[in-house]
Amino acid sequence: MAKTFTVSSTPHVRSKESINSIMRDVFIALLPATVVGIINSGALMPNAIVITLVSIFACIFFEFMWQKLRHEKITISDMSAAVTGLLLAMNMPASAPVWMPIVGAGFAILICKQLFGGLGQNFINPALAGRAFLLASYPTLMTNWAGTKFYDAVSAATPLAQLKTGVSAMTYTTMDAFLGRVPGALGEVCALALIIGGVYLLVKKIISWRIPVIYIVVVFVLTAALGRTGGRVPVYEICSGGLMLGAFFMATDYVTSPVTPKGQMLFAVGCGVLTAFIRKWGGYPEGVSYSILIMNLLVPLIDKNTRPKIFGEVKKA
């Protein structure tokens, strides 16, 4: 009998990159900041490790159960749920009770992701939405930094909360903020570790420079221009709060950011403007999460209006 051959459409070669490899790289890129965050938890280190693991496994578990109960293909091996879990943990204080990441994971995976159709279909970033949900529901627990290594018992505030009062209230230096010697959510404190992770993603071409660089530059320029009571500290501003985490890892989330290059730039500018405005005039000391979530909602509109110019476009008369 004659040999049978595989027949398929073009192209017959594919790049090595897959959803799996991308998610794995994002996970790897988040590790330096996670490790620094855990170490900086000081006495709370065991709890920090527990909530990180619980968050990751809760996300994987919820995704698995949803797909199992709905007789869908189980896709937890693509690591997208694990990345959501790690990002969610990085947004929590080291003192968080163990049930909190579970609630957050449930909201992120079930409500934000699976209810809308699973991977690729959610319109807001699940990890950020999980954090926003927890912050709104348990504001005290979500902002309790007591017990961590760099907690200042006198001011009991994060760098951005101090800035809200004024530059004179600052008890941390820019270098403290850069190296993570400040209180704050687990994964957001060390700008250096986040930049290392971000550069890894840039080098691996998993993210483009457009969103993170524009986002950070816009925040830098606007905070320099707007200033705070008693002065302007733009370098300190960009190293503090969730900006580095948000700019490199949240705003660059494929699913919830524009697909067009021009759209990505516009999206980043929007994130930057909103962040600076919330920090300056908003009720919260920090505005990264809400800025990104608001811009997530505008993505369809941005995509629609930033379509690339097609090759050989003929102007319609």
Partner 1 sequence: MLTFKRGVHPPDEKSFSAEKEVVMIQPEVGEELCFPMSQHIGAPCKPTVAKGDYVKMGQKIGETTGFVCSPIFASVSGTVKDIRPVLTPGGAMSQAVVIENDGKMEPVEGLNVPKDYTKMTNEEICDAIKEAGVVGLGGAGFPTHIKLAPPPDKKIDYIIVNAAECEPYLTTDYRIMLEEPERVVRGLQVVLKLHPEAKGVIGIEHNKPKAIESMTKACEGIDNISVATLRTKFPQGSEKHIIYSITKREVPSGGLPADSGCIVDNVDTMVAIERAIFRGRPLMRRIVTVSGRGAVNPGNYKVRLGMTYGMLLDKVGGFTEDTAKIISGGPMMGIAIHSLDTVMTKTSSSILCFTEAESQLPEERNCFRCGKCVSHCPMGLMPNELNKAAIYGDHAGFIEFNGMDCIECGSCSFECPAKRQLAQSIRAEKKIQMALKAKQN
CB of 246 to partner 1, least distance (A): 18
Using CB atoms within 10 A of its CB, is residue 232 exposed (0-12), middle (13-18) or buried (19+)? middle
Q: Which is nearer to partner 1, 122 or 291 (CB)?
A: 122
- Please list the residues that pair with 228 across neighbouring strands: 231
Long-range contacts of 180-183 (CB under 8 A, 24+ apart): 180/36, 180/37, 180/40, 181/40, 181/150, 182/150, 182/158, 182/240, 183/145, 183/148, 183/150, 183/151, 183/152, 183/157, 183/158
CB of 24 to partner 1, least distance (A): 12
Q: Which is nearer to partner 1, 113 or 228 (CB)?
A: 113
Handedness of CA 181, 142, 32, 201 (dihedral sign): negative
Q: Which is nearer to partner 1, 117 or 283 (CB)?
A: 117
CB of 218 to partner 1, least distance (A): 20
CB of 30 to partner 1, least distance (A): 18
Q: Which is nearer to partner 1, 172 or 249 (CB)?
A: 249
Residues in touch with partner 1 (CB under 8 A): 2, 4-15, 17-19, 21-22, 75, 78, 80, 117-121, 208, 254-261, 264, 307-314
- Polymer length in residues for the chain: 317
Q: Are 157 and 240 in contact (CB under 8 A)?
A: no
> Which residue matches tokens 């709890």?
47
CB of 207 to partner 1, least distance (A): 10
- Name the DSSP class of 260: S
Q: Are 242 and 290 in contact (CB under 8 A)?
A: no
Q: Which is nearer to partner 1, 5 or 281 (CB)?
A: 5
Q: Which is nearer to partner 1, 258 or 270 (CB)?
A: 258
Gap between the Cα atoms of 184 and 20, Å rounded: 31
CB of 79 to partner 1, least distance (A): 12
Using CB atoms within 10 A of its CB, is residue 15 exposed (0-12), middle (13-18) or buried (19+)? exposed
Give the closest residue to 291 by CA, choosing from 132, 110, 133, 166.
Answer: 132
Q: Which is nearer to partner 1, 42 or 308 (CB)?
A: 308
CB of 22 to partner 1, least distance (A): 6
User: How many angstroms separate the Cα of 221 from the Cα of each of 41, 105, 224, 306?
Assistant: 32, 35, 5, 24
Q: Which is nearer to partner 1, 203 or 225 (CB)?
A: 203
CB of 123 to partner 1, least distance (A): 10
Using CB atoms within 10 A of its CB, is residue 126 exposed (0-12), middle (13-18) or buried (19+)? buried
